[in-house]
Structure 1
């Protein structure tokens, strides 16, 4: 088994802002006008590049597809399907992408679940890549699963109450040759930022199980440095973008989200 640990300092996300963002996203989606397959923003602007291909808008089973720039037709290889849309219970979306490459056909499936928009408490995310083709194809796929306990994140980040028995953010990455378990725990920093500690445990699988200790003995220091550098880079990106965004609220936030939908 290989173990990794690194701590980064992040600009905080106010809980009230996060919840207002969830509300704004739901408001924006529910206020979209539907004309046949076309979608329009409340101000009448056409939502480019996306059509409702099946079902009723935001009802379970509703399916949306991007539009091919070449011929203007819905892309049969990509779809977002509404699994659930209830502000007081659950919002769930599934995104599927197909790659029909004859040599290595593949399908990626991502599912996002939120409980609930009215009072965000938990988020689940999963992503699965399945590949076909020759016998090596199984080594190109894998599954990622993440769980975020929103009710536990902000108290932990503020240092209130007892330390949680489980990490507010946890996940697993499963591959044919390895399985990684990740936990993320926030703590308060004296200057008001979050000190976020990321821990990962990696176990080899199949014929890679006896090879992992050998690889760590040879490349362990380099692997730990790469782990830390990747997290430091992500933290810099986070801190570079987040502060300006969290200052936007109300109509300004709604306009920002609508602008993102209109972007090419």
Structure 2
């Protein structure tokens, strides 16, 4: 088994801001209506690149198709649950010549977001065999995340990671654990740790194969974590710069235009990633 660790300093996002963002998304959806297959916003604008393919709009069982000009893949969304007091659940199905995939996402109590879960499967084209199949699960306990991020400096890290991801393949399994800590000045220090291991009889083979690739894995892992942190910081900086009213207007613009504008220049980040620690 190989264990990789790396920590990065990122912009913090408080509970109230997350509630505002989720509420804005839900309000935008609930103010929309269907006119045949066309989805219209509350003020009558057409929502781009999506059509109602079956069922009643925003009712469990509703099916939507995402349409992107020139794309060869087919993406379908199925609404499983829609109750802001309990849960919102959506299933995405993607079919392309080289791969098909299924992803289910569920947010518990959207009015006071507390738990986000996702699970999915993918498989290669017909005849590609079991080597091109895999599955994964992710879980983010929001209450536990903010509790961990609010611990005073010097406190021991939480034993159970608030955010976890598990990916399985015939050859092996990867598990990712994320733990936040307060880093001062509106930031979190997030430790990302991943374990890699082979499965069943392949465990000894995988262990031997990982030895010469250790350095490359560590560099790739650090680079991936840092890129994710950069993307997070850019997105959160843009979110924090918007008032609730501006956020709703921006979400409406994106829904009706079908694509976001060119990203604004992100503020220069004075604190970069922390030194990596591998084990």
TM > 0.5 fold call: yes
Alignment of 1:56 onto 2:56: yes
Q: Give the distance between the partners of 1:156 and 1:112, measured in 2 at CA.
A: 24
- Correspondences of 1:173-184 after superposition (within 5 Å): 173-184=167-178
Query: In the TM superposition, what is the alpha-carbon distance from 1:230 to its structure 2 partner?
Result: 1.2
Larger deviation, residues 146-155 vs 123-132 = 123-132
Is 1:157 aligned with 2:149?
yes
1:133 deviates by 2.9
5+ residue gaps, structure 1: none
1:83 to 42, 65, 80: 80
Q: Does 1:129 align with 2:126?
A: no
Say which of 183, 186, 199 aligns to 1:189. Answer: 183
Distance 2:144 2:129 in 1: 39
Q: Which residue matches 2:40? A: 40
Q: Does the 8 Å CA contact 2:150/2:182 hold for their aligned counterparts? A: yes
Range moving further from structure 2, 155-164 or 114-123 = 155-164
Out of 142, 145, 150, the residue aligned to residue 134 of structure 2 is 142
Distance 1:246 1:31, change over 3 A: same
Give the alignment partner of residue 249 of structure 1, picking from 231, 243, 252: 243
Q: Which structure has more RCO (C-alpha within 8 Å, separation ≥ 6)?
A: 2
- The alignment's TM-score, normalised by the length of structure 2, stands at 0.85
- Shift of residue 24, structure 1, vs aligned partner: 0.8
| Secondary structure of residue in 2 paired with 1:218 | coil
What is the rounded CA distance, in whole Å, between the counterparts of 1:38 and 1:130 in structure 2? 31
Name whichever of 119-128 and 212-221 sits farther off.
212-221
1:172 aligns with 2:166: yes
Pick the aligned partner of 1:218 from 212, 221, 224: 212
**Where does structure 2 lack aligned partners over 5 or more consecutive residues?**
260-279
Number of aligned residue pairs = 255
Bigger mean CA deviation after superposition, 220-229 or 152-161: 152-161
Is 1:233 the counterpart of 2:227? The answer is yes
Q: Per the alignment, do residues 111 and 217 of structure 1 end up closer, same or farther by CA in structure 2, a change over 3 Å counting?
A: same
Root-mean-square deviation (CA, aligned residues, Å) is 2.1
